[in-house]
A = this chain, B = another copy of it.
Amino acid sequence: MSVQSYIENNKDRFLDELFSLIRIPSISVKQEHKADMEACARRWTEVLLSSGADKAVVMPTTGNPIVYAEKMVSPAAPTVLVYAHYDVMPAEPLDLWKSNPFEPEIHDGRIWARGADDDKGQSMMQVKGFETALQEGLLNCNVKFIFEGEEEIGSPSLEAFCQEHKELLKSDIILVSDTSMVSAEVPSLTTGLRGLAYWELEVTGPNRDLHSGHFGGAVANPINVLCKMIADITGADGRITIPGFYDDVEELSQKERDMIAQVPFDKTKYKQAIGVNALFGEKGYSTLERNSCRPSFDVCGIWGGYIEEGSKTVLPSKAYAKVSCRLVPHQQHEKISKLFEDYINKVAPDYVKVKVMPKHGGEGYVCPIDMPAYRAAEKAVSIAFGKKPLAVRRGGSIPIISTFEQVLGVKTVLMGFGLEQNAIHSPNESCRLDYFFKGIESVAEFYREYTKK
């Protein structure tokens, strides 16, 4: 039997197994979902065992547990470590969903659900690709799986876990399906990721909400102050104004810029897809450079004062924001975090109190495209998608990838099957059905290619 027919014959079961995981709302950011995290981890061990793993266990951490599984074919064979995450983003705003985010539906050629792509869908491609390779006699390497439950909150427990279990996680290459392709027409492999730094800001003005008539004009309003501090972080040229912020940013070589310029990109379609009339970003760089190889500053959330129905006049006591920077390789998130904190504390005026609370962060990553594992992935995707994938750097962050390199000394191949229109982190997340099966095929073919003599 061929890889393709094995997949074809087991389609419905693959989907059932995926759906059983999607139905568990494993939202790591919310404490109320603690039990769901446990349930999701346990469910993965069942799926991994039935897919062919010799062993699958739930291992505790100080946070959510980690699922570890393995299939050892020979001590002499190379070892692939598959990393994925079983936690998902919150589904809010719920009113924008056209279906229940945790009850998957199939229509219009897609699976619709939170996690359909990120990362339950993609990790299922890894597991079912592994099963297919095993059943088709193509698995000539050892495979280890490590699925964490805290990726969406910055993997706070994973580094310590890696430090403690270096021997267990020993491997030659790490394989991850948690990224996207350039477009449906342009298969690609991700060869670079941005880093991340994240902060929460709290600005306190008066000790209670004041009547804006009695105090307005005489007492600083913390929302006005917060807006001013945020506004000043970006210049009119789209550059971040924090002193020292660009010190470690490696300028793009002309060669790299030429490569990026070759990636098919239709600005009009891009704007239409997201519904904007114009784009804005750092002066002197193209859109594809801006969203992959240049740092950025975004307010992820802001709140303060009266935000309900109607028009309450108030000079509020507090204002808050969640802000983040995407970083590029060589920028260290801890250094940037400190720069930001120092900057905010320096510019904070004396008429308010400002607290900067650094949250999770991580470094960027670059994957060498001459590694055998990268070449195997390239070949595998070519077979499944009928086109050689482009090597592209992307703007997202998987901070743990650089941690793996530092702690385990192992490089990662990012073999992702997402698409921009899958709307990960957004309402109505989905995954193309054909991509789900092509992803499985790619992973099976990867095992064939990786151990080909």
Contact = CB atoms under 8 A, between A and B. Distances in A.
Interface stretch (A75-83, A103-111, A315-323, A333-341): A315-323
B196 A313 contact: yes
A302 B299 contact: no
A186 interface: no
A395 interface: yes
B217 A395 contact: yes
Contacts of A427: 208-209
A211 B396 contact: yes
Interface stretch (A14-22, A225-233, A444-452): A225-233
- Chain copies in the assembled complex: 2
Interface in A101-138: none
Interface stretch (A269-277, A374-382, A432-440): A269-277
Contact of A234 (B224, B294, B295): B224
Interface in A392-432: 394-397, 420, 423-427
Contacts of A219: 274, 276, 279-281, 291
Interface residues of A, number: 103
Given A276-B351, A302-B223, A395 B213 contact: yes
Contact of A291 (B214, B221, B301): B214
A390 interface: no
A279 B215 CA distance: 10
Interface of A: 28-31, 89-90, 92-93, 96, 152-154, 180, 194, 196, 198, 200, 205-221, 223-224, 226-228, 230-232, 234, 238, 274-282, 287-288, 290-291, 294-316, 319-322, 324, 326, 349-353, 359-360, 394-397, 420, 423-427
